[in-house]
């Protein structure tokens, strides 16, 4: 996770986008061909700024999608940061602006227009546009759903379009023209925070909604077609002579949509320095244009450095990049002081990171072990073993999974509410009061025994419908299911008028071992199950779909596959114990990492106590850190008192004292430079070190299934 490229593609593209902006302001191909330059700077170049807006939308606004209470704190933080950058840039360009006579005879309204809409120097309009755009989208999303906001933003974009490259079409239409001309008294262009920014902010903010379902080839084709359309559109408008400005095209949002999907799918390492550097290339390049010109004049190289447009462009790019990297080196160094060392992460106190690639590898590994005829029916019960049922089910759907199993009706209903398709089997008991949920959400219920079948059948009779069920057969676990020897009753269930028996299954209780007794018991269970099927066939009942295997069944008895495999723990890349993990090394990859922030670091002097109950006393002077995670987040309290450890900066920090509800103390004496805001890894990798869910299970005397499934609902989950 922390080492997998989540947004590496975006990081790199930023630099390319910054180069395009420089091109727009230097026209590199002008010495060679007017049309080529138009294509480069007015068509291709126009993807740069929308791309930056999309990145902003994704990282600043995406939480507005989750609930109506969009986090104002984050928005405000962003507005402040952008305003600061804008302020620095204004100051930086003040001398140039004065020199160029930008502020001469400016009225108050003229200054305001410059500050809020046009920017105080030609490229600086971008900063106020970001701020107004973000505030506008935030405001809209407080009152409207995401689709309504999207439609509004698209409407604003169309309005902007007619003030930009489509202006010629309306400039002689009486009322409309005067509407636009009034607008142009307030702002010089419609490519600003009101008309241009919102649609791209929203495309960015919603970019990850589509991500799992969009195929790479479709995106490539989409990009190819939409970019072709945009090129045609731009040259057509140019030849018609209708353009007032050339920032906005009808096809541009489509180009951006497909481009962004492709960039998101690139799994490269994040590259933080490039992120900062590209912003500085953007800010600094006009100054570098001036510098290159001045240098050329001083050196008598104007013919080469200024008159040749391509060499001029390259000179500006090289000097801007050099200046930007110097600045971002300083800034990245400084960034470390503010915490978040080593690991990029969530801004929360503690969170779960999910690895999409690992999930995919596990799905592939399990599919390979099974014959074609056997489908995966992943167990996403208990919030997908603590991973987040919604996220996981959506990912799995994207990987072609069409059947799921859950523990109870509520879990099934929630999946349906979020749009999960395919069969959803409830493995456990549903109270008759909740039977209406079964048909409302098209859930399949397990028949837990004969009398339960009667209840379900009566309900179906009252409602005049057939209730879809899988019949559980108890072959020796003696938990749920009708006992295998009661063949008459099982057949009677299958003949019930108001049940649609779609499946027949059993659960193996020792499939996790290959020891002799276990193997024999499994064989015994299998025989009972197949006897039932044989008897049913004798009585003229067509056998429905059958299934017996959970994760360990797939590993140890793939030959018993049947029609479905109800895989749980292995799908999440973990096995129940560490020994099993070692036996099956390399096959499965843990999907979940658990991380928390260092909330405070302090000295603890020899003889002092730490935590509740004076349970820990320092034997020597030490440094300790309080982590913002506790047992209410699912961290077992039994890791207290040195039983557990966490990783900070690739090194182990043992837990000291008693784990609290929301906090945990660790010993960081052996790790230099730990500070507030650093990230501690409780499950997952840090540097060369790794702590797995199996380790936690071993330390606390349980199995990894329990550790994972108890991960608290208070934790935010991010997938990458
Ligand atoms: C939980 C459960 C599973 C999944 O088990 P894993 O061992 O996690 O793969 C399968 N079948 C039933 C009946 C279950 O309750």
Nearest residue (CA) to ligand 1, atom 4: 568
Interval between CA 587 and ligand 1 midpoint (Å)? 19
Q: What's the token pair of residue 421? A: 């398709």
Q: How far apart are CA 58 and CA 4, in angstroms?
A: 19
Low-confidence ranges of the chain (pLDDT < 50): 1-4, 67-68, 334-343
Q: Are residues 364 and 401 in the same domain?
A: yes
Q: Which ligand 1 atom lies nearest to the CA of residue 480?
A: 13
Interval between CA 11 and ligand 1 midpoint (Å)? 41
Q: Are residues 465 and 521 in the same domain?
A: yes
Q: Which ligand 1 atom lies nearest to the CA of residue 381?
A: 1
In a domain, 318, yes or no: no
In a domain, 285, yes or no: no
Q: Are residues 105 and 226 in the same domain?
A: yes
Residue ranges around ligand 1 (CB below 6 Å): 379, 381, 427, 507, 550-552, 566-570
Q: What SS3 state is found at 514?
A: coil
Q: Are residues 561 and 656 in the same domain?
A: no
Q: What's the token pair of residue 60? A: 């600043």
Q: Please give the pLDDT value at position 228.
A: 97
In a domain, 341, yes or no: no
Q: What's the token pair of residue 297? A: 């004049």
Interval between CA 439 and ligand 1 midpoint (Å)? 24
Q: Which ligand 1 atom lies nearest to the CA of residue 567?
A: 9
- Catalytic positions are 381, 612
- In 3D space, the residue among 702, 706, 704 whose CA is nearest the CA of residue 694 turns out to be 704
Pocket test for ligand 1, best of 411, 566, 591, 703 (most atoms within 8 A of CB): 566
Last residue of a domain, one of 244, 270, 296: 270
Q: Which spans in 187-241 are helix H?
A: 197-205, 207-210, 216-240
Q: Are residues 361 and 467 in the same domain?
A: yes
Interval between CA 433 and ligand 1 midpoint (Å)? 25
Q: What is the DSSP letter of 247?
A: S
Residue 218, CA distances (Å) to 229, 397, 399 in order:
16, 18, 16
Q: Please give the pLDDT value at position 101.
A: 78
In a domain, 278, yes or no: no
> Within a 10 A sphere around the Cβ of 105, how many other Cβ atoms?
6
CATH (domain of 442):
3.20.20.10
Pocket test for ligand 1, best of 529, 550, 577 (most atoms within 8 A of CB): 550
In a domain, 596, yes or no: yes
Last residue of a domain, one of 213, 242, 270: 270
Answer whether 691's CB lies under 8 Å from 645's CB: yes
Q: Are residues 453 and 576 in the same domain?
A: yes
Q: Please give the pLDDT value at position 105.
A: 65
Beta partners for residue 595, in sequence order: 351, 681
Nearest residue (CA) to ligand 1, atom 15: 427
Answer whether 381's CB lies under 8 Å from 411's CB: yes
Sequence-separated (6 or more) residues with CB below 8 Å from residue 603:
621, 622, 623, 624
Residue 2, CA distances (Å) to 157, 158, 490, 591, 597 in order:
37, 40, 51, 12, 14
Interval between CA 566 and ligand 1 midpoint (Å)? 6
Q: Are residues 73 and 100 in the same domain?
A: yes
Pocket test for ligand 1, best of 379, 385, 704 (most atoms within 8 A of CB): 379
Q: Are residues 414 and 555 in the same domain?
A: yes
Q: Are residues 550 and 639 in the same domain?
A: no
Q: Are residues 502 and 646 in the same domain?
A: no
Interval between CA 359 and ligand 1 midpoint (Å)? 17
CATH (domain of 599):
2.40.37.10
Pocket test for ligand 1, best of 362, 369, 376, 427 (most atoms within 8 A of CB): 427
DSSP 615-666: -EE-SS-EEEEEES--GGGT--GGGTTTT-EEEETTEEEEEES---SS-EEE
78-124 per-position pLDDT tens digit: 899 999 999 999 999 988 888 877 777 678 888 888 888 888 888 99
Q: Please give the pLDDT value at position 338.
A: 37
Give the largest CA-CA distance in the chain: 103
Answer whether 364's CB lies under 8 Å from 567's CB: no
In a domain, 536, yes or no: yes
Q: Which ligand 1 atom lies nearest to the CA of residue 551?
A: 9
In a domain, 169, yes or no: yes
In a domain, 57, yes or no: yes
Q: Can you say how many angstroms the Cα of residue 184 is from the centroid of all Cα atoms in its chain? A: 40
Q: Which ligand 1 atom lies nearest to the CA of residue 379?
A: 4
Q: How many domains does the chain have?
A: 3
Q: Are residues 217 and 135 in the same domain?
A: yes
Q: What is the dihedral of CA 84, 90, 95, 98, to 10 degrees?
A: -150
At residue 170, φ and ψ (nearest 5 deg) are -115, -5
Q: Which ligand 1 atom lies nearest to the CA of residue 550?
A: 9
Q: Are residues 501 and 619 in the same domain?
A: no
Interval between CA 549 and ligand 1 midpoint (Å)? 8
Q: Please give the pLDDT value at position 212.
A: 55
At residue 312, φ and ψ (nearest 5 deg) are -60, -50
Q: How far apart are CA 409 and CA 32, in angstroms?
A: 69
Last residue of a domain, one of 583, 613, 648: 583
Residue 136 domain boundaries:
33-270
């Amino acid at each position: 996770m922390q080492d997998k490229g989540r947004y590496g593609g975006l990081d790199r593209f930023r630099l390319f986008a910054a180069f395009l902006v420089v091109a727009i302001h230097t026209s590199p191909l002008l010495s060679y061909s007017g049309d080529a330059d138009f294509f480069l700077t007015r068509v291709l170049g126009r993807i740069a700024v929308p791309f930056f807006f999309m990145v902003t939308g994704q990282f600043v606004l995406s939480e507005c999608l989750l609930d109506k209470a969009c986090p104002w704190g984050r928005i405000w933080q962003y507005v402040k940061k952008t305003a600061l950058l804008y302020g620095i840039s204004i100051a930086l360009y003040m001398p140039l602006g004065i020199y160029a006579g930008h502020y001469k005879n400016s009225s108050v309204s003229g200054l305001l227009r410059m500050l809020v809409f046009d920017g105080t120097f030609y490229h600086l309009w971008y900063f106020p546009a970001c701020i107004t755009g973000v505030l506008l989208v935030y405001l809209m999303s407080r009152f409207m759903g995401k689709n309504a906001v999207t439609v509004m933003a698209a409407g604003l974009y169309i309005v902007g379009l007619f003030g930009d490259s489509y202006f010629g079409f309306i400039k002689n239409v009486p009322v409309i023209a005067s509407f636009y001309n009034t607008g142009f008294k307030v702002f010089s262009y419609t490519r600003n925070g009101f008309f241009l920014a919102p649609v791209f902010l929203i495309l960015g903010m919603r970019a990850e909604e589509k991500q799992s379902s969009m195929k790479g080839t479709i995106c490539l084709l989409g990009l190819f077609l939409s970019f072709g359309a945009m090129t045609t559109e731009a040259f057509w408008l140019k030849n018609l002579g209708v353009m007032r400005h050339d920032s906005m095209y009808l096809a541009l949002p489509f180009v951006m949509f497909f481009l962004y999907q492709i960039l998101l799918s690139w799994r490269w390492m994040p590259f933080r320095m490039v992120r900062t550097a590209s912003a500085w290339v953007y800010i600094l390049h006009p100054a570098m244009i001036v510098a290159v010109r001045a240098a050329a004049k001083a050196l008598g190289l104007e013919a080469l450095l200024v008159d040749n447009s391509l060499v001029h462009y390259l000179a500006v790019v090289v000097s801007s990049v050099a200046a930007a990297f110097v600045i971002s080196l300083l800034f990245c160094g400084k960034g470390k002081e503010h915490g978040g060392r080593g690991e990029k992460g969530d801004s929360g106190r503690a969170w779960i990171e999910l690895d999409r690639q690992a999930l995919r590898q596990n799905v592939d590994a399990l599919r390979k072990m099974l014959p074609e005829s056997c489908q995966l029916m992943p167990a996403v019960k208990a919030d997908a073993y603590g991973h987040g049922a919604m996220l996981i089910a959506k990912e799995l759907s994207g990987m072609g999974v069409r059947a799921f199993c859950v523990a109870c009706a509520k879990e099934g209903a929630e999946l349906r509410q979020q749009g999960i398709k395919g069969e959803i089997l409830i493995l456990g008991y549903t109270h008759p009061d909740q039977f209406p949920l079964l048909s409302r959400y098209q859930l399949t219920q397990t028949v837990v025994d004969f009398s339960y079948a009667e209840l379900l059948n009566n309900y179906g009779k009252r409602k005049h419908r057939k209730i879809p069920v899988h019949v559980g057969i108890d072959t020796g676990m003696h938990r749920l299911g009708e006992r295998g020897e009661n063949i008459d009753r099982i057949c009677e269930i299958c003949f019930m008028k108001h049940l649609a028996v779609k499946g027949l299954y059993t659960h193996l209780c020792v499939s996790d071992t290959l020891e002799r007794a276990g193997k024999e018991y499994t064989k015994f269970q299998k025989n009972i199950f197949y006897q039932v099927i044989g008897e049913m066939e004798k009585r003229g009942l067509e056998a429905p779909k059958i299934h017996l295997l959970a994760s360990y069944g797939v590993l140890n008895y793939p030959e018993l596959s049947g029609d479905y495999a109800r895989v749980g723990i292995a799908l999440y890349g973990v096995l129940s114990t560490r020994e099993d993990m070692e036996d099956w090394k390399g096959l499965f990859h843990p999907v979940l990492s658990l991380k928390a922030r260092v909330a405070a670091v302090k000295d603890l002097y020899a003889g002092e106590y730490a935590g509740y109950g004076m349970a820990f006393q320092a034997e020597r002077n030490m440094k300790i850190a309080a982590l913002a995670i506790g047992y209410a987040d699912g961290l077992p309290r039994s890791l207290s008192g040195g039983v557990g450890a966490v990783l900070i900066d690739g090194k182990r920090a043992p837990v000291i004292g008693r784990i609290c509800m929301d906090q945990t103390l660790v010993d960081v004496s052996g790790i230099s430079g730990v500070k507030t805001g650093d990230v501690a890894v409780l499950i997952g990798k840090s540097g060369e070190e790794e702590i797995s869910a199996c380790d936690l299970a071993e330390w606390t005397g349980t199995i990894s299934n329990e550790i994972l499934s108890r991960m608290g609902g208070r934790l935010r989950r991010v997938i990458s």
